[in-house]
């Protein structure tokens, strides 16, 4: 163990040049994302689920109980986060949405009713985006700068649509582990399914969602091993959590432990999506390209 750190020193002897030069000598960016899907988790799948009160109540747990608890933890730890909120949820949980903004966290767009973009025509996709930006700005007091597509899936025209509506960044693709620029100058902050809580914790009997909920010890190990390696490779650790899952008590403790151990490590820059995007745009030489071929 490194006496300065709660994290064991990796035994790997393989340490390539960092993929990205982060500010202030930090070796890794950490973007904590909360996708506050709430009731749209069910309603976007089937509006008839509105009559399933238990399923709906599990979804409601996120904005009603999970978010206030997580806001308390973030304040206690002194770290910023980015909340992607479907505008239907912002409308129906406006006090929750304003509390996120008042606490100084970033609010990004996440559809209106958590629509799957692949199922929308270009006109429908633009209408949903415009509506969601308008509603979020009206409630939170600031126009969103970032967009996370529901289910992470975007269409070929989405980057130009986001740019045309004044957004600074997208946080949906998975083809890299450091930010990159789309051809139109939109910043992409990539994520990955391994750093997502749905695969670890989601479960509903009917409709059948998720799997057997995992033990937090296993998830700590999964995520911290990835953090340690991403730190050594100079990556962006984009962790995506849903308050209806990660607002449950033992998982709030899990997040506290992860953030505390990353803070103790001293290598990470905790930043919102906007902060990362602005840094990327201001430091075009920060990214070390490794592509051997042009994309298809």
**CA angle, 263 as apex, 258 and 266 as ends, to 5°?**
135
What single DSSP character describes residue 207?
T
Q: How far is the CB of 263 from Zn ion (least distance, A)?
A: 27
70: closest CA among 58, 59, 54, 82? 82
Q: How far is the CB of 150 from Zn ion (least distance, A)?
A: 5
Q: How far is the CB of 35 from Zn ion (least distance, A)?
A: 4
Residues 132-161 that bind Zn ion (CB under 5 A): 150
Cα first-last separation, the chain = 44
Nearer to Zn ion, 176 or 197 (CB): 197
Q: How far is the CB of 280 from Zn ion (least distance, A)?
A: 23
Q: Write the DSSP string, 80-94.
A: --EEEE-HHHHHHTH
Nearer to Zn ion, 140 or 262 (CB): 140
Q: Taking a C-beta distance cutoff of 8 angstroms, is the pair 221, 178 a contact?
A: no
Distances (CA, A) of 269 to 69, 76, 127, 249, 286: 23, 17, 35, 26, 15
**Rounded-to-integer distance, Cα 32 and Cα 80, Å:** 7
Nearer to Zn ion, 37 or 196 (CB): 37
Q: Taking a C-beta distance cutoff of 8 angstroms, is the pair 197, 245 a contact?
A: yes
Nearer to Zn ion, 35 or 275 (CB): 35
**Rounded-to-integer distance, Cα 118 and Cα 223, Å:** 29
Nearer to Zn ion, 92 or 257 (CB): 92
Q: How far is the CB of 154 from Zn ion (least distance, A)?
A: 13
Nearer to Zn ion, 118 or 264 (CB): 118
Among 19, 22, 27, 35, binds Zn ion (CB under 5 A): 35
Instruction: Choose one: 32-40, 62-70, 91-99, 172-180; the region binding Zn ion (CB under 5 A).
Output: 32-40
What single DSSP character describes residue 165?
T
Q: Does 37 bind Zn ion (CB under 5 A)?
A: yes
**Rounded-to-integer distance, Cα 44 and Cα 159, Å:** 23
Count of residues that interact with Zn ion, criterion CB under 5 A? 3
Distances (CA, A) of 284 to 74, 106, 137: 30, 23, 29
Nearer to Zn ion, 61 or 220 (CB): 61
2 burial via Cβ count (<10 Å: 0-12, 13-18, 19+): exposed
Q: How far is the CB of 17 from Zn ion (least distance, A)?
A: 35
Q: How far is the CB of 151 from Zn ion (least distance, A)?
A: 7
Interface residues toward Zn ion, by CB under 5 A: 35, 37, 150
């Amino acid at each position: 163990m490194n006496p300065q750190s709660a994290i064991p020193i990796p035994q790997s002897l393989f340490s390539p040049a960092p993929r990205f030069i982060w500010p202030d000598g930090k070796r890794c960016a950490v973007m904590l994302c909360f996708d506050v899907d709430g009731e749209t988790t069910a309603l976007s799948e089937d509006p008839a689920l509105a009559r399933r009160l238990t399923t709906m109540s599990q979804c409601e747990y996120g904005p009603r109980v999970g978010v206030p608890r997580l806001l308390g933890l973030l304040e206690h730890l002194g770290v910023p986060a980015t909340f992607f909120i479907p505008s239907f949820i912002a409308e129906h949980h406006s006090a929750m949405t304003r509390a996120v903004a008042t606490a100084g966290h970033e609010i990004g767009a996440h559809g209106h009713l958590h629509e799957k973009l692949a199922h929308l025509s270009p006109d429908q996709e633009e209408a949903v985006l415009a509506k969601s930006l308008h509603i979020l700005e009206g409630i939170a007091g600031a126009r969103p700068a970032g967009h996370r597509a529901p289910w992470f899936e975007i269409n070929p025209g989405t980057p130009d649509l986001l740019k045309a509506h004044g957004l600074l960044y997208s946080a949906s693709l998975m083809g890299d582990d450091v930010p990159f620029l789309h051809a139109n100058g939109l910043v992409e902050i990539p994520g990955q399914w391994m750093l997502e809580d749905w695969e670890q914790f989601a479960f509903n009997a009917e409709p059948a969602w998720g799997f057997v909920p995992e033990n937090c010890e296993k998830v700590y190990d999964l995520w911290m091993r990835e953090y340690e390696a991403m730190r050594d490779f100079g990556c962006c650790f984009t962790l995506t959590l849903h308050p209806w899952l990660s607002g449950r008590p033992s998982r709030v403790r899990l997040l506290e432990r992860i953030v505390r151990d990353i803070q103790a490590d001293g290598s990470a820059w905790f930043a919102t999506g906007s902060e990362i995007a602005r840094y990327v745009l201001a430091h075009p030489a920060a990214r070390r390209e490794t592509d051997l071929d042009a994309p298809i």
